[in-house]
């Protein structure tokens, strides 16, 4: 049994790609080039979508007298990561609200710190380039998952839709969303293809990148343990067990380290409370939605956009359930939604927090792929790209707060 054989439990037979023909098996470089050739239309389309968003930001920035580079590379959370890269973490809990950098996970600032001496430019430039590079790795991974499940057309459309989300401008900012999405996409692809060592390692790295890494860890661990029940004793089962164990180590390791650093077992959660971020099962989210739609006379436009993203995401998850998506994808997006919608923390960044949940977009990509008229698909995608470009510029240069 090959490692990919274990993926059959997650991929319906009608959706599996045909077995390769004869002529020998290409080595890793050949496989990488073949995969890149298959993905290049999706990556080119993603580039075009994000360039449209960048042009909108540049035009509005020029009109308002702002610089594009500082807006993308050194604003809001970007500065927190840059400070961690330069000076490290604090070693106390303190009492000041929204002022403890232990709330930010370490992988992105560690990479910025490691790459800064090797590259020209400031650490902020390094962080921005790292985010842009990660966005293409993420787009490739998003395509790979969509292609694996439903073919090249759906994979390409899934990539374009992910790049045209209302808050997709963050993918090209000095933030962690692109790096985190890349790790999530390739970890889920590794699960679908039965590569358990890779799945566990990537999930562990994702757990060092964002708090919602726990959603990916849950997906990988559950999928690996379920695979163990079907696999015979031997290397494949050992790989699945190892992946299940490795997956949550990054998230658990950082949370434990924060507790040791501040001298209390719940240290990380105490830090989150200082940021007014606790899980309340969704009560605060529902209250905010009620306030906006029933009582507020003129709610901010960006906040309404965030609310629309949250509501649509919940509906898309129900469609994913009805479509009987592979269990690892459902676990990942389900836990991600539970964490984001169930939080009592700051409301307006939540659309950004859901950016890595690209499997939620599979019903949209499949519906577009089934459209009979190419003009219909072009109009819908064009409208989505324009909305994304406008929303990104509005979020960064009109909305008076972090994205």
Comparing C-alpha atoms, which of 199, 155, 185 is closest to residue 3?
199
Bridge partners of 279?
343
Q: Please report, for residues 165, 222, 279, 320, 352, the alpha-carbon distance to residue 364 in angstroms, rounded to integers and kept in the order given.
A: 12, 26, 29, 10, 19
Per-residue pLDDT for the chain (403 aa), expressed as one digit of tens each? 343 444 444 544 334 444 333 344 567 788 889 999 999 999 999 999 999 999 999 999 999 999 999 999 999 999 999 999 999 999 999 999 999 999 999 999 999 999 999 988 899 999 999 999 999 999 999 999 999 999 999 999 999 999 999 999 999 999 999 999 999 999 999 999 999 999 999 999 999 999 999 999 999 999 999 999 888 888 999 999 999 999 999 999 999 999 999 999 999 999 999 998 999 999 999 999 999 999 988 899 999 999 999 999 999 999 999 999 999 999 999 999 999 999 998 999 999 999 999 999 999 999 999 998 999 999 999 999 999 999 999 999 999 888 8
Distance CA 84, CA 74 (A): 13
Q: What is the pLDDT of residue 26?
A: 65
Comparing C-alpha atoms, which of 356, 352, 344, 339 is closest to residue 303?
352
Residue 197 corresponds to which tokens in the numbers above? 């060592």
Q: What is the pLDDT of residue 8?
A: 43
375 conformational bin, left if phi > 0, alpha if psi -120 to 50, beta if neither: alpha
The answer for residues whose C-beta is within 8 angstroms of residue 314's C-beta and 6 or more apart is 337, 341
DSSP 124-140: HHHHHHHHHHHHHHHHH
Q: Please report, for residues 244, 320, 384, the alpha-carbon distance to residue 366 in angstroms, rounded to integers and kept in the order given.
A: 30, 11, 16
Distance CA 130, CA 190 (A): 23
Beta strand extents in 108-247 (DSSP E only): none
DSSP 333-375: HHHHHHHHHTB-S-STTHHHHTTT-GGGGHHHHHHHHH-S-HH
Q: What is the pLDDT of residue 22?
A: 37
Return the DSSP state at 232.
P
Instruction: Return the percent helix, strand and coil in the chain, to nearest 5.
Output: 75, 0, 25
């Amino acid at each position: 049994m090959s490692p990919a054989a274990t993926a059959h439990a997650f991929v319906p037979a009608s959706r599996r790609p045909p077995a390769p023909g004869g002529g020998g098996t290409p080595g890793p470089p050949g496989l990488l080039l073949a995969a890149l050739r298959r993905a290049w239309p999706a990556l080119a389309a993603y580039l075009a979508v994000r360039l449209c968003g960048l042009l909108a930001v540049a035009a509005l920035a020029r009109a308002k007298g702002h610089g594009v580079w500082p807006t993308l590379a050194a604003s809001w959370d970007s500065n927190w990561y840059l400070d961690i890269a330069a000076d490290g973490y604090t070693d106390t809990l303190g009492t000041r609200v929204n002022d403890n950098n232990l709330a930010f996970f370490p992988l992105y600032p560690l990479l910025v710190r490691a790459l800064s001496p090797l590259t020209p430019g400031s650490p902020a430039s390094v962080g921005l380039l790292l985010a842009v590079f990660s966005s293409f790795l993420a787009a490739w991974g998003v395509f790979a998952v969509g292609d694996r499940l439903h073919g090249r057309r759906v994979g390409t459309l899934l990539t374009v839709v992910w790049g045209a989300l209302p808050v997709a401008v963050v993918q090209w900012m000095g933030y962690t969303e692109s790096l985190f999405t890349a790790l999530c996409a390739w970890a889920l692809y590794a699960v679908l293809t039965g590569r358990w060592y890779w799945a566990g390692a990537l999930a562990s790295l994702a757990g060092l990148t964002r708090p919602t890494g726990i959603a990916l860890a849950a997906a990988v661990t559950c999928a690996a343990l379920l695979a163990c029940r079907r696999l015979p004793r031997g290397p494949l089962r050992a790989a699945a067990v190892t992946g299940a164990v490795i997956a949550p180590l990054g998230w658990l390791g950082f949370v434990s380290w924060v507790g040791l650093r501040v001298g209390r077992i719940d240290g990380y959660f105490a830090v989150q409370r200082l940021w007014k971020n606790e899980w309340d099962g969704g009560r605060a989210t529902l209250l905010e939605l009620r306030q906006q739609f029933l009582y507020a006379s003129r709610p901010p436009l960006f906040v309404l956009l965030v609310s629309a993203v949250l509501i649509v995401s919940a509906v898309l998850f129900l469609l994913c359930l009805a479509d009987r998506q592979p269990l690892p994808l459902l676990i990942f997006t389900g836990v991600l939604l539970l964490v984001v919608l169930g939080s009592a923390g700051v409301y307006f960044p939540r659309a950004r927090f859901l950016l890595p949940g690209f499997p939620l977009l599979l019903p949209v990509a499949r519906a577009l792929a089934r459209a009979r008229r190419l003009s219909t698909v072009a109009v819908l995608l064009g409208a989505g790209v324009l909305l994304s470009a406008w929303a990104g510029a509005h979020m960064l240069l009109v909305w008076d707060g972090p994205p």
